Structure 1
Amino acid sequence: MPPGILTLAAEKATLSPANTGFMLIASALVMVMTPGLAFFYGGMVRVKSVLNMLMMSFISLGIVTVLWVLYGFGLAFGTDQGGFIGWDGNFAGLSGIGLTQLWGTSTIPVYVFAAFQLMFAIITPALISGALADRVKFTAWALFIALWVTVVYFPVAHWVWGEGGWLFELEVIDFAGGTAVHINAGAAALGVLLVVGKRIGFKKDPMRPHSLPLVMLGAGLLWFGWFGFNAGSWLGNDDGVGAVAFVNTQAATAAAMLGWLAYEKLRHGSFTTLGAASGAVAGLVAITPACGSVSPLGALAIGVIAGVLCAMAVNLKYKLGYDDSLDVIGVHLVGGVAGSLLIGLFATGGVQSEAKGLFYGGGFSQLGKQTVGVVCVLLYSLVVSYVLAKAIDLVMGFRVGEDDEISGIDQAAHAETAYDFTGAGGGSAARRGPALGEALTKKVDA
């Protein structure tokens, strides 16, 4: 988020219909990222858990929206209260905001800014869900989302983007969410994993993606929506910064995909579709905090570095023994850390802010600030997420029963299955009845 326009200021500005329209479109693009994430994650799980994986993302649209309207926007972007949280009574219920009241010194209405920021708040807890595939209660997950956004996301968003927030005042650069979104979600995933443990059969049973086309579709929707995520974070494009962010987003994503595939070819001998999709997401994650402060060449460098680092990081779960089902830690935590720290090397000082990185004559100053932001957000989210998950586990149990985990959460939690193998096509499979469907389901799950 751009500094200097994140509170209601006394300075007069004029509403811009062009910027307002642009930001409404950007908000819709970011909203599309959540169902895109659901497809991306849904394709990577086994058949028996597809619907549950989709719902773990989709339910965030409902829970976070309600909380954001009631109090979330006020906590994240209200008047600063000691550097750690915000509040403004006019933001409670979004009821005290004028139709044409502008957001700070920007040229867009407060309502538009609130809608844009809501979409960030929605997708962040949804990102966590990929680490927990196949084994958590849907009710426990829903409660975790509500608690987590309240005590982790809303405060951290204020630290990073709210004027008066302590990381904002420290001048930590996070254009669109490297710390507040990706490190926050990745660290939370690790905290919850320490409570819920590994899937039954981890390292023993094959747990391959059931639909790589669905993974590619999800990655494509994420890539598409990410232009709203990043370019929209300047809240307009009167000075061209949003355009630079757009170009940098594309450049880093492409470079990361190629970097991941190159590593994969050297390490495993193949260029996989899963690697292409994962590499693209790693690049999107890494460029998110940096897209307004680096050049396109810097974006290419960040993309390649992130692609290789994240490809290496996803293998750590097998060495360290934690079961991050869909590599949230390897992609979002590692990618977010890489992108946030590389600002300290590649910031040009000529786009979003005057801060320069080490390679542009700025010394280690900005790198030090970025390190403080990374470490503090990571530790806060990790510790609080662990405590929340532990409390939920003690009160109601966070994990499904062993029988439900083995047979599949879709039927147990949602009374549905993603695919009907028992005769929807009307051919010989239909005549042979449920036995064939059951056999096919077991074969796909294997």
Structure 2
Amino acid sequence: MKKLAINGGTPCRDITIQPWPKWPVWGKEEEVALIDVLHSGVWSYNGPKEMEFNRLFAEYTGVKHAICTVNGTITLQIALEALGIGVGDEVIVPGLTWQATAATVIDVNAIPILVDVSEDNWCIDPKEIEKAITPRTKAIIPVHLYGAFADMDAIMAIAKKHNLYVIEDCAHKHGGEWNGKKAGSIGDIGSFSYQLSKHLTSGEGGSVTTNNTELANKLDALRNCGRRPEADAFEGVDKGAGDYGDDDGNFIQSGNLRITEFQAAILVEGLKRLPAQNENRDANAEYLNSLLAEIPGVSPIARDKRETKKAYFNFAFKYSKNEFKGLPIEKFRNALQAELGLVVDSSYEPLNNCSLYVPHTKPSRHKLNDVYWEEIDPKRFSLPVCERIFKEQSVCVHHKVLMGSTADMDLVAEAIKKIYEHVSELLD
């Protein structure tokens, strides 16, 4: 009789009896807050909930300014625009990330330079950054991927040496800390997403963070139809001349990239829960990683000692088919999914061969000239580590798995061991 669930055996977890923790998390607090917004009649445009969340998130992140926007793609775009990055400029981006990290560079008519990642943590490799710098390079966008932190010491040193801007893509790292500094407070600008799957969510939404008041002024204008910040929005800015326009106070071309009061109300309550949720996820991840380290063929993502607080968007680990008698990783993921009753994915697709990152499908928008058209072709980049991670190593599950108990972590490890012990069933 077959033992593995994918072959008809009994799964390690019957989710009809023992479901995984739900995501998103909400309670009476969100209900009350949403009803309050409904009755207030102030549903958008710098409402009290949005202003409250901006203040709370800035305090939490350890920055002077946090500004809400419509999503975590727009945050990257307006960050680039606020820094004056555009036609002919190059921006260094990791090859293993969500497509928006690179697509927004093209959206400001700059050139994404895709570089490889470190094998130990899947984040951008500082050595590859150095190799990619040219006289046209203007910025680096490190991505703190899944549970790991990009090496911000090395990246900030490189940026200082070459006079480059750093935009932290923190879509996976709300509340994570590097040497005691929170993600989004280290580079020139931080970019956050509140999309439904993220570990701080309002369904959609995003924030930019910065310690630079002039940049905050520009970012605020860009997300608000080019309007200057309202009176007293940012201390220390000359409202007559410090706007994102000229000395006469003229506006700049932009659009409506604002969040709603309903989203902000949910974020205010979600932020109250985030520290405890992050601590719980970290404790469970550390325990699960200790279990994985004892199982042949799987291994944890490296944890840097300079990460003083962990934050997980999804939980990822490495797979080696050699220890599983050559079992292809797709079959391993499918078997684990059947045992646990939840989606088991690969990492993101490397951007040099990603089905969602295809700038050449929009010539009417992106074909500025023949040279630029060639420069934005992602296939011109070689990303062997990214490709190896995607095709051979990566196993990822949603971070809700980490919101349970240590017994839940034991069960994940048990499922992997079960596949290891009965791998022959999958090789028939």
TM-score, with length taken from structure 1 = 0.25
Bigger strand fraction: 2
Question: Would you tell me which structure has more helix in proportion to its own residues?
Answer: 1
TM-score where L is the length of structure 2:
0.26
